[in-house]
Structure 1
Amino acid sequence: MATEESEAVGAFERLGLTSYEAKVFIALQRLGSGTARDVARVADVPRSQVYSVAESLEERGLLEVQQSSPIRYRPVGVEEARETLRTRFENEQERAFEYVEGVREESDTEERQEDIWTVRGSDRIDDRVVDIVSGADERIVFGIRSTDQLTGEIGEILEELAAEGVEVTVISRSSAVRNRVEEFDGVATIPPADDRADDEVSGRIVIVDDDSVLLSVVGDDGGETAIWSAGSLFASVLIRLVEANTEAPME
């Protein structure tokens, strides 16, 4: 089997077909129509298996059967097959996630765990920052080292929340960061305490209201790692520790 066809078979398997189903469907697309003998000759599928596989494909709506002697098979068009598989995938996805949502709702009624989570990589940390600040009701304190840590999406959300009445403060020693933040309506910016001038390790500090916090550090290789917690006792304690050490105006 050619590499391209092998990859196509693998793709069909990920869409829910078996290997034999994928091979028979591809063979019939190549043939246009054919008997079990024709399919077995083209596809790497035993002739004895073609009949049951074709029956399964018919049930899936991917081929038609001509009741002749011998029986002949014809695949549906490519676009029809694409739509059939797309609909099937969407239905299965909906069924799966409905169940997962139900399980999650049940777990939300139980006692919440006090967890601290770890996130590695600047892109993933960007996403987590967006998620955390999006839930702000009263205040956001965002400490960053460079403009790279203030993505366009983060900046837009900070400005939108400030417009909605959330108190947003950005802390940075970088004048480039402060100059950029000054362009955001309603967002305040201040430098950190002087005793933090020799800090070359910390990356970002995000505090949202009184129950969500993210802290990151930058390694020697430039890689960023963060810990975060929300709605937990750990988060409350971390926020108090951060506020005590940054001397930032948190009130």
Structure 2
Amino acid sequence: MDDRTLNDLLRRFGLSDKEVDTYLSLLAHGEAKASTVADAAGVSKRYVYSVSESLAERGFVEVNDHVVPTTIRANPPDEVINRLRSDVDAIRPGLEERFSRVERQTEQFEVIKSRVTVIKRIRSLLADADAEVTLSITAEHLPEIRDSLVEAVDRGVLVLLIVSGTDDAPENIEGDLGGVASVVRTWSEAMPILLTVDSAAGIVVPPELLHRSNTDRQAIHFSQEQLAPVIVGSFLGNYWPAASEVATAAPAPLPAEYANFRHTVLQATLRLRAGETPHVTVGGRWTDDDESAEVSGRVVESKQGLVEPTTNEFPVEHSLVVETDDGETVTVGGQGAFVEDVEADLVRIEADGADRDEADASGED
């Protein structure tokens, strides 16, 4: 390799022209006094000391300042190369993470023009759901995604479903809705297909796209954590109250843990309405000082708009009132809570002690 190419490559690793000259002079001498290197590199002795410290920090040389006069030794090329390779490997994860972040940002929105692709996207999103699904779908197209909904419910996902565009009386379609959702409502009016999954991704589809082959209307598939909660808020605040409740799944077996707080509220509400008093252990933070919190006690009230009769004061309010084991009353909300005392991250629901004793007694009989 000629000197010019070698110099260019070394400069790519951040070495200045003088640093390159100094380092190559040291390679030629192996180990030398600062004055010797200064003469060979055409720089001052003071500059050699300064450059050598910089080169030593990056692993190119070793400064032997414990001897008089001080000498500078070039490290073996293999050691230098391994050090450079290690540095490159160390920055790889950070570079890849930032690059993938840009890729995700560029893929946050996708325009869909095909009815077939819309159904495929819905199935794919439902298959990826971990915690929560909100969905409005026409009665005509519900059968095409029914299996995906049933699988999500079986995985323990909270599924809030509006079946729209049907003039059937609720009692005539209840039999077709078993197992497809945690709560099902119907609305006779036509409405867009709205799907959100885990408040992170979803799809918005105008009704015309699924009903007409010659329409120029388009669907939007989005993957943006800032947009999805807005869609959820619109779903729960505008469409859900206008629809009629026709089916609700039975309470899940206890004990159970939920990171999704709306699911927690639904399960606690169903238990309360069955005459039970569920016991919860809540992990999260106190909203007044942001300190970590752990609350344990009996749920005495729920404020919610998921099932009838609703008890919340505004559409997106979902909270629990807990009587702690110490006799205090604490209000618990979900992500972003600020009105309640505690913002919950994880909630464990168990049968209350009295309920467990009664169940055990029944079992003995």
- On whether the aligned pair clears a TM of 0.5, the verdict is no
TM range (shorter): 0.3 to 0.5
The structure showing larger relative contact order (alpha-carbon pairs under 8 Å, at least 6 residues apart) is 1
* Greater helix fraction, Structure 1 or Structure 2: 1
State TM-score, norm by structure 1.
0.39
